[in-house]
């Protein structure tokens, strides 16, 4: 609740409701419209009795003293509890980085495990401050849920897992191969499109669940398996002989995953977005969690000095402390460190950087300049 | 003529119809068809149980602290051993485990006297267990008072959470169910209508939708910034749902009591509540023990549904554990462990109910 809000503000609808109503007037489905209106009316009554959020997520977070972050209930490399019950993973570290930026302490964050169905409600209702839950950035989600995607912390996409015995190095050599596919999924459609576009043939063998699919691949019933790349690496570990299979470099669909915040709070949106950018810039300039203190003290590079809050705008525009970026790098690391630790060579998954390499190294991860 | 006055003593039965051989012949090899079926069954047991036993015990790995310890091809119980604390306590802070242990230890200590035949003042103890104990347990689990650190419900998990959900469900659903059953048979129209609507509404929706409503829709209706604890929402949903089922089980028992019992009670001048409390309910509840325990067992297993709303009960904790990149691929071990734990609890409940039936058996069984 924002104490500064006047009486009139009490009648401001929560922003997600505005969006719900907007979508409903645009839509043609009358039943949907009625449901949405009824829902909004109910929620509106509730909203009248209190003050609405007024772009003050940062103040609210600072006041309660920790960041509430929504993550998955368990996805290898992205968020899962370790042996001690601590959450680890790429999505988890993204939240820790935001906490480091805001509080200078990456530990001031609490995690709410969410299922796919409740994730957006949890963010809309204010239960969490940031959703970092393996969520694909799409037009529909960005425009109709009252949410904003603050960036991309992992470029995922559909790829291929093949047996090494096949001796192929590229997906374009897969003409005539048999595929284990989960029936009725988007991956099935993407596969059909890709093969049609490249004028190749394939034999689909469909299964109902992803477990059956990988078991069939393991038993040698098909030459290749297709799914999102990040999943393929996890599937590979579960095979009887993980070294007998490899992930091909091609990616045939776009699945940009990133943190999400509520729409209408631009300050907060900027903080989350620049947290990611700071980590990318740090990797680009070679600032790591180990050398960050030395760099801040002795570096002559103006880019590094601006990033670490020694000169330039520092933390002013984001309303953070001057060393916000330095805290992130010191406590969580730069983007490369975060990637390798959770999903890359430092983890069991051993995912290669691929699209997630920096723009200067053949990937598409790009942090706008800090100046 | 010599006449036998005494009948000739019975000959002993043929050796093939008594003892082990007789039992085998009678039960397993009584006809060619049965003989074939016996051998088929033995073969099926051989091809399923032997590999399962080898996997679970002989080839299994028991000690170690990482997946490298699991190389003998059988079950990797190391996974369960390393994660055991997490499966039991969820994400509860390790330094505070003693609070959970104390709460459950105290519960056992308070329950044991109830099963002793000659313990005095059982009524007082029951009242203590139902009224004072939940308060003690709440403060032990949640903290925030008496110098105990506060532990949010989002950190509760594992078997602890399963037992809390099932325990609250069982303790709350039985009395609410009894009241609803009495309400449904009441002659007062409003009480009856309310009971019927409540029971039919909650029986008409699947538990999974109740949980979804509580976790996905309810927050949208609440004012922004007000947070109604997710666990509490799920708990209320479970209690509502189970009490409707319980009400119907109890109503079944009430209907089985002959009308003469009511009339006799009235003839003695007993009030409605005395009639129910002293004459009808003791008999009705005794009749429906199997149904009540059946509902309890179903409730215990239904608590696993909370995993779809992101609460970490035993099953969800186990599932999240095998999404750890360091432990990928040990899902079978995890599920077997979960099944074993659930089986132990459900089987104990079932045995206890059978013992209770025998103890209360006073000639009503037909």
Non-local (6+) Cβ contacts of A2 within 8 A are: A9, A51, A53, A54, A56, A59
**Å from A192 to nearest chain B CA?**
29
Q: Does domain A158-252 have CATH number 3.40.190.10?
A: yes
Query: Which residues in chain A are closer than 8 Å to B86, comparing Cβ atoms?
Result: 81, 83, 85
Mean pLDDT confidence for B90-102 = 88
Average pLDDT score over chain B? 87
Domain ranges of chain B: 93-150, 157-315+342-360
Mean pLDDT confidence for B256-266 = 91
User: Residue A50 pLDDT more than 50?
Assistant: no
Question: Is the Cβ pair A234, B224 closer than 8 Å?
Answer: no
Cα A295 to its chain centre, rounded Å, is: 29
Q: Kindly state which CATH superfamily the domain A57-155+256-361 is placed in.
A: Periplasmic binding protein-like II (3.40.190.10)
What pLDDT shows up at residue A32? 46
User: Residue A29 pLDDT more than 50?
Assistant: no
Q: What is the ipTM of this complex?
A: 0.78
What pLDDT shows up at residue B366? 47
Q: Is A149 helix (H, G, I), strand (E, B) or coil?
A: strand
Query: Which residues in chain B are closer than 8 Å to A129, comparing Cβ atoms?
Result: none
User: Residue A37 pLDDT more than 50?
Assistant: no
What pLDDT shows up at residue B300? 92
The domain B157-315+342-360 is classified under which CATH number: 1.10.3720.10, 3.30.300.30, 3.30.70.860, 3.90.420.10? 1.10.3720.10
* Token pair in block for residue A215: 């078991």
Query: Which residues in chain B are closer than 8 Å to A53, comparing Cβ atoms?
Result: 224-225
Q: Which of A73, A85, A349 sits opposite B86 (nearest CB)?
A: A85
What pLDDT shows up at residue B1? 55
CA distance A153 to A77: 13
Put simply, whether A345 touches B (Cβ < 8 Å) is no
Dihedral in degrees, nearest 10, Cα atoms B79, B85, B89, B90: -40
CA distance A359 to A353: 11
Please indicate whether residue A332 or residue A55 has the higher confidence score (pLDDT).
A332
Question: Is the Cβ pair B310, A112 closer than 8 Å?
Answer: yes
Mean pLDDT confidence for A1-29 = 39
User: Residue A45 pLDDT more than 50?
Assistant: no
What pLDDT shows up at residue B308? 83
Q: Are A332 and A100 in contact (CB under 8 A)?
A: yes
Query: Which residues in chain B are closer than 8 Å to A80, comparing Cβ atoms?
Result: 320-321, 323-325
User: Residue B62 pLDDT more than 90?
Assistant: no
CA distance B162 to B306: 9
Nearest chain B residue to A72 by CA distance is B310
User: Residue A334 pLDDT more than 60?
Assistant: yes
Put simply, whether A240 touches B (Cβ < 8 Å) is no
Nearest chain B residue to A344 by CA distance is B325
Question: Is the Cβ pair A80, B325 closer than 8 Å?
Answer: yes
Q: Is B270 left (phi over 0), alpha (psi -120 to 50) or beta?
A: beta
User: Residue B259 pLDDT more than 80?
Assistant: yes
User: Residue A24 pLDDT more than 60?
Assistant: no
Q: Which of B91, B224, B231, B322 to mutate to test the interface with A (most CBs of A within 10 A)?
A: B224
Mean pLDDT confidence for A198-208 = 89
Put simply, whether A81 touches B (Cβ < 8 Å) is yes
Q: Are B195 and B180 in contact (CB under 8 A)?
A: yes
What pLDDT shows up at residue B146? 80
User: Tens digit of pLDDT for each residue in A124-160?
Assistant: 888 899 999 989 999 999 999 999 999 999 999 999 9
What pLDDT shows up at residue A54? 42
Query: Which residues in chain A are closer than 8 Å to B321, comparing Cβ atoms?
Result: 74, 80-81
User: Tens digit of pLDDT for each residue in B182-236?
Assistant: 999 998 999 999 999 999 999 999 998 998 888 877 877 777 666 778 888 899 9
| pTM, full prediction | 0.81
**Å from B46 to nearest chain A CA?**
24
What pLDDT shows up at residue B29? 86
What pLDDT shows up at residue B242? 92
Nearest chain B residue to A2 by CA distance is B225
**Å from B345 to nearest chain A CA?**
25
């Amino acid at each position: 609740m924002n104490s500064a809000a006047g009486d009139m503000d009490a009648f401001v609808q929560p922003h997600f409701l505005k969006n719900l109503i907007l979508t409903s007037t645009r839509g043609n489905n009358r039943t949907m419209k009625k449901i949405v209106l009824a829902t909004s009316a109910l929620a509106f009554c509730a909203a009248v009795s209190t003050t609405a959020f007024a772009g003050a997520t940062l103040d609210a977070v600072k006041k309660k003293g920790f960041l509430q972050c929504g993550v998955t209930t368990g996805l290898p490399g992205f968020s899962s509890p370790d042996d001690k019950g601590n959450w680890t993973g790429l999505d988890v570290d993204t939240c820790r980085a935001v906490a480091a930026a805001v509080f200078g302490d990456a530990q001031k964050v609490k995690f709410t495990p969410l299922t796919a169905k409740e994730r957006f409600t949890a963010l809309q209702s204010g239960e969490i401050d940031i959703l970092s839950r393996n969520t694909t950035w799409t037009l529909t989600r960005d425009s109709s849920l009252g949410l904003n995607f603050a960036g991309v912390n992992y470029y995922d996409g559909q790829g291929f897992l093949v047996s090494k015995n096949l001796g192929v190095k590229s997906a374009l050599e897969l003409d005539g191969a048999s595929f284990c596919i989960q029936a009725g999924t988007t991956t099935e459609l993407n596969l059909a499109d890709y093969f049609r576009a490249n004028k190749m043939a394939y034999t689909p063998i469909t299964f109902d669940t992803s477990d059956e699919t990988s078991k069939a691949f393991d038993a040698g019933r098909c030459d290749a398996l297709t799914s999102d790349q990040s999943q393929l690496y996890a599937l590979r570990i579960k095979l009887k002989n993980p070294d007998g299979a490899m992930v091909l470099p091609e990616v045939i669909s776009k699945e940009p995953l990133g943190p999400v915040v509520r729409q209408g709070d631009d300050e907060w949106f900027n903080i989350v977005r620049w947290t990611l950018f700071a980590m990318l810039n740090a990797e680009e300039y070679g600032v790591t969690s180990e050398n960050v203190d030395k760099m801040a003290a002795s570096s002559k590079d103006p880019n590094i000095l601006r990033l670490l809050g020694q000169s330039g705008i520092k933390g002013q525009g984001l309303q953070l402390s001057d060393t916000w970026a330095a805290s992130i790098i010191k406590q969580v690391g730069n983007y490369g460190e975060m990637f390798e630790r959770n999903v890359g060579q430092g983890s069991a998954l051993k995912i290669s950087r691929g699209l997630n390499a920096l723009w200067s190294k053949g990937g598409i991860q790009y942090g706008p300049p800090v100046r | 003529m010599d006449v036998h006055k005494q009948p000739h003593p019975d000959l002993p039965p043929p050796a093939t119809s008594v003892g082990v051989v007789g039992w085998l012949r009678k039960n397993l090899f009584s006809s060619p068809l049965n003989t074939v079926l016996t051998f088929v069954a033995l073969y099926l047991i051989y091809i399923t149980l032997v590999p399962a036993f080898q996997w679970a015990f002989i080839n299994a790995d028991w000690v170690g602290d990482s997946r490298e310890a699991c190389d003998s091809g059988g079950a990797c119980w190391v996974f369960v051993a390393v994660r055991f604390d997490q499966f039991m306590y969820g994400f509860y802070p390790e330094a505070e485990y003693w609070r959970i242990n104390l709460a459950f230890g105290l519960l056992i200590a308070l329950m044991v006297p109830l099963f002793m035949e000659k313990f005095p003042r059982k009524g007082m103890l029951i009242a203590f267990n139902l009224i004072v104990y939940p308060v003690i347990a709440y403060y032990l689990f949640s903290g925030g008072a008496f110098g105990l650190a506060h532990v949010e419900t989002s950190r509760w998990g594992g078997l602890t959470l399963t037992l809390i959900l099932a325990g609250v469900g069982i303790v709350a659903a039985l009395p609410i169910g009894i009241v609803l059953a009495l309400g449904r048979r009441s002659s007062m129209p409003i009480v009856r209508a309310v009971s019927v609507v409540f029971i039919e509404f909650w029986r008409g929706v699947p538990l999974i939708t109740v949980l979804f409503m509580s976790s996905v829709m309810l927050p949208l209706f609440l004012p922004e910034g007000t947070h109604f604890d997710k666990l509490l929402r799920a708990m209320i949903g479970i209690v509502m749902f189970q009490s409707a089922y319980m009400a119907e089980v109890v109503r079944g028992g009430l209907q089985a009591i002959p009308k003469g019992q009511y009339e006799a009670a009235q003839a003695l001048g007993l009030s409605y509540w005395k009639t129910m409390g002293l004459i009808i309910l003791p008999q009705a509840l005794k009749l429906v023990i199997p149904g009540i325990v059946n509902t309890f067992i179903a409730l215990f297993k239904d608590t696993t549904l909370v995993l779809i709303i992101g609460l970490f009960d035993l099953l969800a904790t186990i599932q999240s554990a095998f999404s750890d990149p360091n432990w990928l691929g040990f899902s079978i071990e995890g599920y077997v462990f979960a099944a074993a734990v659930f089986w132990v609890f459900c089987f104990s409940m079932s045995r206890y109910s059978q013992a209770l039936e025998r103890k209360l058996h006073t000639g009503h069984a037909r």
